[in-house]
C-alpha cells in the first residue's frame, strides 16, 4: 500500500494521539448493569481525530488531504460541496478552500427541520460564514446531487473550474484518508504494544468506515470495525460502506481483500432521525465530558458513544480493548445549545 501515489497535500496535524480513557472505562465497568453481570466492560482507548487541525479538526481533514490533492491537480478554482446546516464536512471543506486560496460554494440542506436560531445561525454555519463561503440553503429532502451539479454548472458558466466534493467527502479519493488512518493506528498500537480487539466509529456518508475497512483489510491487520449508524438503516448503511470499501481497495490494487463480513453497522441508536438529539445522546455527551474531558458532538460522535455505552452495558465488549475513533464535530455543540439547555444540570 503506497498512499503517496495518490498525491495528497499535507496540512493535517498527524499522527493524532491514541490515548487511554481510564475514567470512562471505570464508569462503564462500574455501571449497575455491568455489576449485575459480575463486572466487566471494555478497556477503552480513543483515537483523537478531533485533533486533526483545519478549523477545529475532525475526520474530514484526512479526506480533504486527498481530495484537495486531486482538486489542485485538476486546476480547480472553486470547491463545491453540500451537507446539513450544521455539517462538519462543509465547515472543513470551506477551511480547506481558504488554505489553498480557492473559492467555496456550499449548499446547506435544512435536513432536521429545526428553526432554532442557534441551529440555523451558530455552530458550524457561523464558521462557514466567518471563513467566507458562498452559502445557499435549500429545504430538507432536496436532491442534493442535482444541486451540486447545478452550482458546478454555474461556476463553469462564469469561467471558473469547479471541483465537486460529494456529501461527507465520501468517495474513493476521500476514503484514502481513512486507509491512512488505519495504517497510522495499527503502527501506533504496534509501537505501544497495544493489542486492539475492535474499533468503534460513527458511520454516516460511509467514507470513514469504508476507508478503515479497506485499510485494515489491505494491511491484513484483522481488527473488527463496528460502525454506529447516524442516519440510514442497517442494510442500506452496510451496503454503502461495503461498496465504497471494495472500490477503495480496488484503487489500491487489492479489491478481493475486502469481504462482506468485514462490514458491520449497528443502526439501532439513530433515535428519531439524523441530527435529532435524544436523552441518551445527552447522557453520552455528559459522560464523556465529565469523565475524560472528551468533547463529543450531538449528531455523530454523541450517537456513536450512545451506542458504545449501551452495548458495553449489555456486555458486548467485555474484556476487549476497544478504540473509539473520535471523528470530531464539537463545533456543532453550539448549534444545539437550545436542545442541550435544561439538560446539563
Ligand X SMILES: Cc1ncc(COP(=O)(O)O)c(C=O)c1O
Residues near ligand X, by CB under 6 A: 58-59, 88-89, 168, 170, 202-209, 297, 300-301, 327-329
* CA distances to 149, 162, 333 from 153, in Å: 6, 8, 34
Catalytic residue chosen out of the listed positions 29, 31, 34, 87: 87
Residue 195 in 3-state DSSP? coil
Residue closer to ligand X, measured from CB, 123 or 168:
168
- Count of H-run helices and E-run strands, the chain: 13, 10
DSSP 3-state percent helix, strand, coil across the chain (nearest 5): 50, 15, 35
Residue 114 falls in the annotated catalytic set:
no
Question: Interhelix angle for 123-130 vs 88-99, to 10°?
Answer: 20
CB of 58 to ligand X, least distance (A): 5
Q: Among candidates 263, 270, 261, which has minimal Cα distance to 209?
A: 263
* Calpha distance 338→175 (Å, rounded): 34
Q: Residue 81: beta bridge partners?
A: 106
CB of 49 to ligand X, least distance (A): 9
Residue 292 in 3-state DSSP? helix
Q: How far is CA 125 from the centre of its chain?
A: 17
Residue 104 in 3-state DSSP? strand
Per the CB < 8 A criterion, the answer to whether 298 and 285 are in contact is: yes
Query: Alpha helices of the chain — where are they, by DSSP H?
Result: 22-29, 32-36, 60-73, 88-99, 117-121, 123-130, 144-157, 172-192, 207-219, 234-251, 279-292, 301-313, 337-340
DSSP at 260: G
CB of 40 to ligand X, least distance (A): 28
Residue 5 is placed in which grid cell?
501515489
Residues carrying an active site annotation: 87
Amino acid at each position: 500500500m503506497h498512499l503517496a501515489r495518490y498525491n495528497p497535500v499535507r496540512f493535517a496535524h498527524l499522527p493524532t494521539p491514541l490515548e487511554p480513557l481510564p475514567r470512562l472505562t471505570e464508569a462503564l465497568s462500574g455501571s449497575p448493569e455491568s455489576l449485575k453481570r459480575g463486572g466487566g466492560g471494555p478497556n477503552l482507548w480513543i483515537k483523537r481525530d478531533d485533533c486533526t487541525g483545519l478549523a477545529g479538526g475532525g475526520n474530514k481533514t484526512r479526506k480533504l488531504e486527498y481530495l484537495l490533492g486531486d482538486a489542485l491537480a485538476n486546476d480547480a478554482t472553486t470547491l463545491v460541496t453540500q451537507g446539513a446546516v450544521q455539517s462538519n464536512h462543509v465547515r472543513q471543506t470551506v477551511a480547506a478552500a481558504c488554505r489553498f486560496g480557492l473559492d467555496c460554494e456550499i449548499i446547506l440542506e435544512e435536513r432536521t427541520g429545526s428553526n432554532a436560531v442557534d441551529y440555523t445561525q451558530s455552530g458550524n454555519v457561523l464558521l462557514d460564514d466567518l471563513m467566507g463561503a458562498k452559502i445557499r440553503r435549500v429545504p430538507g429532502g432536496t436532491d442534493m446531487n442535482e444541486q451540486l451539479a447545478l452550482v458546478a454548472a454555474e461556476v463553469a458558466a462564469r469561467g471558473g473550474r469547479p471541483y465537486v466534493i460529494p456529501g461527507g467527502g465520501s468517495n474513493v479519493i476521500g476514503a484514502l484518508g481513512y486507509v491512512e488512518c488505519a495504517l497510522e493506528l495499527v503502527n501506533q498500537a504496534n509501537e505501544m504494544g497495544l493489542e486492539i480487539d475492535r474499533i468503534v466509529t460513527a458511520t454516516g456518508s460511509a467514507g470513514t468506515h469504508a476507508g478503515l475497512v479497506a485499510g485494515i483489510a489491505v494491511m491484513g491487520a484483522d481488527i473488527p470495525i463496528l460502525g454506529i449508524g447516524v442516519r440510514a438503516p442497517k442494510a442500506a448503511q452496510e451496503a454503502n460502506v461495503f461498496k465504497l470499501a471494495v472500490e477503495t481497495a480496488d484503487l489500491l490494487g487489492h479489491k478481493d481483500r475486502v469481504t462482506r463480513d468485514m462490514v458491520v453497522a449497528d443502526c439501532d441508536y439513530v433515535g428519531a432521525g439524523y441530527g435529532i438529539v435524544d436523552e441518551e445522546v445527552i447522557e453520552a455527551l455528559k459522560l464523556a465530558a465529565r469523565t475524560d474531558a472528551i468533547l463529543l458532538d450531538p449528531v455523530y460522535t454523541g450517537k456513536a458513544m450512545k451506542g458504545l455505552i449501551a452495548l458495553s452495558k449489555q456486555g458486548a465488549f467485555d474484556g476487549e480493548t476497544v478504540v473509539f475513533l473520535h471523528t470530531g464535530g464539537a463545533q456543532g455543540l453550539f448549534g444545539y445549545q437550545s436542545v442541550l439547555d435544561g439538560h446539563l444540570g
